[in-house]
Copies of this chain bind each other. A is one copy, B any other.
Amino acid sequence: MAGLITLGVDVGGTNIKLGLVDQSGKILTRTRLETKSFIRSRKRLMTALAEAISHLIKQQGFSRKNIRGIGLGLPGLIDVKKGIVTFLPNIPGWRNVPLKNFIEKKLRIPTFLDNDVNVITLAEWKYGAGRKYTNLICITLGTGVGGGLILNNALYRGEGYAAGEIGHMPLNEQGPRCNCGGFGCFERYVGNKILQKKAARIFRKKNIQFPDIYPLAKKGDRRARQFWQEAGEHIGNGLIGVVNLLNPRLIIIGGGVSNNLIFMKAKIEKVIRKRAMNVQGRMVKIVRAQLGDDAGIIGAQVLVEESYLGR
């Protein structure tokens, strides 16, 4: 029988976080690598990853027999079935890399890969804000706007593992051009860069950050409240399409901006109740993600379990 512990890896553009996770989704121990130390050599990164995994296991007095599986979340397009990293837009040199095969050969532990937002979605569904929900959408608001879909009680990945791109649902045919090739994408209205530009204009302060606005909004500053109300209106409008199409029970909002969800939640819900269809609009709840930066590691545990179930 395979072991009970999962090793989770959350590969980001800045850090690579690793952790051992038990069967209840608790992180037992963790470590991290700096992504940029390996940015020039894919091979070095892969070797360092395998070594860090191996080290973390031994450090805790475990052997590979105690490990049920290794789960990795990566920021890009993943061929989940083959365990190949198809493309990572922000880490150079990663195209069609058979990472699953590489790690399994090195460590002889079953290994599973998925897109990072999918892994976060799995984490929130099993151990976070989405526990016991059958149909939910998890959104990460950041520089990009990502999405993961739990439909009929399973992660839905799409035909080419590219589903969930809520950030690239168009809101206006004549809207601003997006890097994806489209126009008026959701991301072009609520991505961090756009919100930050807007904040700079409103507060007349070039480098104002969201953490600077938070205390202002908290103590009732009119401009700060207005800023989040408008962001909430855009988020609400951007969600109507997915609410009408997928009729989810829950929308989980994570990512940096979600710290400020308290100032936007009522507005988002109001816009949806007003503009979405009756049945869909009334039944959807908006909540904040619960697992924060740990979601990527914890979700690996779910990824491994779901993979064993053939999902």
Contacts and interface: CB of A to CB of B under 8 A. Distances in A.
B170 A171 contact: yes
Given A151-B152, A170-B171, A158 B248 contact: yes
A283 B245 contact: no
Contact of A182 (B166, B240, B246): B240
A279 B157 CA distance: 13
B134 A170 contact: no
**Which size bracket describes the interface of A in this complex?**
35 or more
Nearest to A237: B173
B182 A275 contact: yes
Contacts of A171: 170, 172-173
B151 A276 contact: no
A245 B160 contact: no
A164 B163 CA distance: 16
A244 to B, nearest CB: 4
Contacts of A172: 171-174
Contact of A159 (B147, B163, B183, B248): B248
B277 A181 contact: yes
A180 interface: yes
A216 interface: no
Interface in A248-297: 248-249, 274-281, 283
B170 A237 contact: yes
A242 B240 contact: no
A277 B180 contact: yes
A140 B100 CA distance: 42
B77 A182 contact: no
What is the copy number of this chain in the assembly? 2
A88 to B, nearest CB: 14
Contacts of A283: 159-160
A275 B183 contact: yes
Contact of A163 (B162, B246, B281): B246
A182 B152 contact: no
Contacts of A170: 171, 237, 240-241, 275
A165 interface: yes
A169 B241 contact: yes
Contacts of A94: none
A168 interface: yes
A245 B275 contact: no
Contact of A162 (B156, B169, B277): B277
A134 B244 CA distance: 22
A154 interface: yes
29 contacts: A77-B279, A135-B159, A151-B151, A152-B152, A152-B156, A156-B246, A158-B248, A159-B283, A160-B279, A160-B280, A160-B283, A162-B277, A164-B245, A165-B245, A169-B169, A169-B245, A170-B241, A170-B275, A171-B172, A172-B172, A180-B244, A181-B275, A181-B276, A181-B278, A182-B240, A182-B276, A182-B277, A241-B241, A245-B245
